[in-house]
């Protein structure tokens, strides 16, 4: 794991947050409480700033970056799927799910409980409304989901990563070379 200062700015990591040893965080990065930062994740606060809320999971091989002087804001209870790229997003609100391999580009806004499909490309300046499910290249909203059953199901998945963040510090160990 690399948690490194860049030009006097150093990442701040909240209590009960787990950062995998192969993840890199550097510069002006703030990660909230109870988060999961997975293997190979790269969170770069060198040009701009990154703000991540509580209980958010940034899964394996994700990239998060901001433009010079700007802030990439990711809410609480957000799931960023394996290999997703978040570049200079304006705001990802709470409880959002971003599918594996999705690209969320500059100045986008993703409303609460929205979901971005696997491999989708959310283009510059695009807004996905609360509960909107967006898929494709470029991403387009197919439907809106606001029902309680949908929210309960996704909350359960999110809680699994919060649990992993608690379990990993004691349970993760690299095997000796053979």
CA atoms of 170 and 144, how far apart (whole Å): 40
- Domains of the chain listed by start with CATH number: 2-171 (2.160.10.10)
DSSP output for 64-106: EE--TT-EEEE-SS-EE-TT-EEES-SEE-TT-EE-TT-EE-T
CA atoms of 13 and 75, how far apart (whole Å): 15
The pTM of this model reads 0.89
What is the four-CA torsion angle of 63, 122, 13, 66, rounded to 10 degrees? 70
Q: Does position 47 have pLDDT exceeding 70, yes or no?
A: yes
Confidence bin at 115 (pLDDT 50/70/90):
very high
If you average pLDDT over residues 153-170, what whole number do you get? Answer: 79
How far the first Cα of the chain sits from its last, in Å, is: 23
Contacts of 173 (CB under 8 A, 6+ apart): none
Confidence bin at 135 (pLDDT 50/70/90):
very high
């Amino acid at each position: 794991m690399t948690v490194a200062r860049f030009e006097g700015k150093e990442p701040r990591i909240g209590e009960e947050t787990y950062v995998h040893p192969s993840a890199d965080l550097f510069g002006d990065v703030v990660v909230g409480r109870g988060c999961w930062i997975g293997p190979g994740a790269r969170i770069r606060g060198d040009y701009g700033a990154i703000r991540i809320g509580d209980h958010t999971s940034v899964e394996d091989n994700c990239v998060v970056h901001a433009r010079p002087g700007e802030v990439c804001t990711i809410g609480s209870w957000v799931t960023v799927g394996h290999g997703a790229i978040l570049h200079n997003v304006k705001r990802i609100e709470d409880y959002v799910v971003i599918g594996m391999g999705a690209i969320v580009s500059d100045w986008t806004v993703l409303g609460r409980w929205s979901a971005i499909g696997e491999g989708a490309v959310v283009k510059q300046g695009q807004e996905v409304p609360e509960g909107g499910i967006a898929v494709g290249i470029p991403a387009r909203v197919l439907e809106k989901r606001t029902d309680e059953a949908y929210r309960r199901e996704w909350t359960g998945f999110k809680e699994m990563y919060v649990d992993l963040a608690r379990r990993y510090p004691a349970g993760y160990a690299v095997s000796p070379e053979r």
